[in-house]
């Protein structure tokens, strides 16, 4: 197939090179996440840790596809965010911010990488401490992680988005937690981080999404946020917002010279993917971004908070709906969790027991064992259902 024909067709998982790019982006973001976790120590400045995450992704993607004729876009697909304790999401401060991590902080790390527009995103929750995580911190992390495990098993061809919404709320309730409202799991496509097919986290009369059925060869960012509070976060300070995305369907002739300068820089550097204002000249950005947002040229990602004292956990992963089953390509093992709750609900146990791989028709070949041994069954790449009451650690890819 020629390049022209490829450009006319939507590139999806039926193309081996597309799968390769998704998995390459996933490998980079998984390693970036590992780096960021290692940097989450008491007294570490949050902005410094965010910078290290973004720099690692830029460096690693910059080393790929150097010698191809056609220019391939690659780099950060979502800036590194570190949201602490009752902060829900999108905290990626400016260079002048002096906020540091403290012993015992419950940290949500959120980041993304893309190669040629094929996006891999991940979010992970980590407590800044040695030893097992206990009490309500363990409960809320286990709630988010178990809900994510259930979602992975229900996001499969033939299932509906509403099935996932109902299931993850039931899981959270088992841990005496709430799934946070307003969080959407999106289908992703090339250069599209927030596609139209979505899974609503919480049923809400004010927020409606179209019913949808999952299909083979689709890619999803499965996004689960759980809280010990009400699950109804609010924005406290607009000035905390630093992440934006160009609204490509909007145009407006900006009045301020500073705004035009910043908007031109955004169009050159970040025409499609979300970006952090930290990547712009700070003083000009503060002035110019306001007019851009006011006229809907940029979509802001506000920093949301639950009430002080509430605890929030975040798990996000990228899953490829391959012909042979679901392939979760981004993840990281959790710390040991000692939750105060146990999962006794038979329906939740049944969801967790579901496989993520499609059985081969005709009972595929079995591996031959040594003489006198039984042949091994074909290995599955799926994660084993976890014991949500003890350590809650998902299997690493």
The per-residue pLDDT for 8 is: 59
Residue 236 Cα to chain centre, angstroms: 23
Residue 391 in any domain: the answer is no
Do 152 and 201 share a domain, yes or no? yes
pLDDT digits over 28-83, tens only?
A: 999 999 999 999 999 999 999 999 999 999 999 999 988 888 889 999 999 999 99
Instruction: Domain of residue 29: give its range.
Output: 9-238+305-353
Residue 360 in any domain: the answer is no
Do 16 and 63 share a domain, yes or no? yes
Do 22 and 80 share a domain, yes or no? yes
Residue 71 in any domain: the answer is yes
Confidence at 393, pLDDT banded by 50, 70, 90: very low
pTM of the model: 0.88
pLDDT digits over 358-381, tens only?
A: 765 544 444 444 444 444 333 333
As a whole number of angstroms, the distance between CA 358 and CA 89 comes to 34
Do 140 and 250 share a domain, yes or no? no
- Domain with 42 in it: what CATH number? 3.90.230.10
Average pLDDT over residues 96-105: 97
Q: What is the DSSP string of 190-207?
A: TTBSS-S-EEESS-BTTB
CB atoms under 10 Å from CB of 188, counted, come to 27
Do 51 and 16 share a domain, yes or no? yes
Do 274 and 145 share a domain, yes or no? no
- Domain with 263 in it: what CATH number? 1.10.10.10
Do the bridges between strand 243-246 and strand 298-301 make them parallel or antiparallel, or are there none, so unpaired?
A: antiparallel
Contact 137, 106 (CB under 8 A): yes
Residue 388 in any domain: the answer is no
pLDDT of 1 higher than 90: no
As a whole number of angstroms, the distance between CA 249 and CA 274 comes to 15
DSSP β-bridge partners for residue 222: 317
Report which listed range, 65-74, 274-283, 341-350, is most confident. Answer: 341-350
Do 126 and 213 share a domain, yes or no? yes
Find where tokens 């160009």 sit: 246
Do 33 and 71 share a domain, yes or no? yes
Do 247 and 226 share a domain, yes or no? no
pLDDT of 322 higher than 90: yes
As a whole number of angstroms, the distance between CA 11 and CA 187 comes to 14
pLDDT of 395 higher than 60: no
Average pLDDT over residues 150-166: 95
The per-residue pLDDT for 70 is: 85
Do 113 and 201 share a domain, yes or no? yes
Do 34 and 67 share a domain, yes or no? yes
Q: Is the dihedral of CA 267, 273, 279, 284 positive or negative?
A: positive
Strand ranges for the chain from DSSP E: 74-84, 87-89, 106-115, 118-127, 133-134, 178-179, 184-188, 198-200, 219-227, 243-246, 275-276, 298-301, 304-305, 312-322, 325-328, 337-338
Residue 342 in any domain: the answer is yes
- Phi first, then psi, for residue 219 (nearest 5°) are -125, 135
Do 213 and 161 share a domain, yes or no? yes
How many domains does the chain divide into? 2
As a whole number of angstroms, the distance between CA 89 and CA 276 comes to 14
Tokens of 60: 């690693």
As a whole number of angstroms, the distance between CA 42 and CA 105 comes to 9
Residue 369 in any domain: the answer is no
Residue 36 in any domain: the answer is yes
Residue 379 in any domain: the answer is no
DSSP β-bridge partners for residue 327: 320
């Amino acid at each position: 197939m020629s390049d022209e024909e490829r450009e006319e067709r939507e590139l999806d998982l039926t193309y081996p090179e597309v799968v390769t790019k998704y998995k390459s982006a996933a490998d980079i973001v998984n390693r970036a996440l590992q780096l960021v976790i290692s940097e989450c120590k008491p007294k570490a400045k949050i902005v410094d840790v965010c910078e290290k995450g973004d720099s690692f992704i830029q460096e690693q993607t910059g080393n790929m596809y150097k010698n191809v004729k056609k220019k391939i876009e690659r780099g950060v697909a979502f800036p590194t965010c570190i949201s602490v304790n009752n902060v829900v999401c999108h905290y990626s401060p400016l260079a002048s911010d002096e906020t540091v991590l403290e012993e015992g902080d419950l940290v949500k790390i959120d980041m993304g990488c893309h190669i040629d527009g094929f996006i891999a995103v991940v979010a992970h929750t980590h407590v800044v401490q040695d030893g097992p995580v206990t009490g309500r911190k363990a409960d809320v992390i286990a709630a988010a992680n178990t809900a994510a495990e259930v979602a992975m098993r229900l996001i499969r061809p033939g299932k509906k988005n509403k099935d996932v919404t109902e299931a993850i709320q039931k899981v959270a309730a088992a841990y005496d937690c709430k799934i946070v409202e307003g969080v959407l799991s999106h289908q992703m496509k090339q250069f599209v981080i927030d596609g139209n097919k979505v899974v609503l986290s919480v049923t809400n009369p004010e927020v409606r999404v179209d019913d949808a059925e999952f299909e083979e060869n689709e890619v999803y960012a499965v996004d689960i946020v759980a809280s010990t509070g009400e699950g109804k976060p609010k924005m406290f300070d607009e000035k905390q917002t630093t992440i934006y995305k160009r609204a490509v369907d909007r145009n407006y002739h900006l009045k301020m010279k500073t705004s035009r300068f910043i908007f031109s820089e955004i169009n050159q550097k970040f025409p499609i993917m979300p970006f952090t204002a930290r990547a712009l000249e700070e003083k000009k950005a503060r002035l110019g971004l306001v007019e851009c947002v006011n006229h809907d040229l940029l979509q802001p990602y506000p920093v949301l908070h639950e009430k002080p004292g509430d605890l929030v956990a975040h798990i996000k992963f990228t899953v490829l709906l391959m012909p042979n089953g679901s392939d979760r390509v981004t993840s990281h093992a959790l710390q040991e969790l000692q939750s105060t709750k146990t999962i006794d609900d038979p329906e939740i146990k049944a969801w967790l027991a579901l496989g993520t791989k499609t059985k081969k028709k005709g009972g595929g070949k079995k591996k031959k064992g040594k003489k006198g041994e039984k042949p091994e069954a074909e290995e599955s790449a799926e994660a084993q259902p976890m014991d949500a009451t003890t350590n809650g650690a998902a299997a690493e890819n």
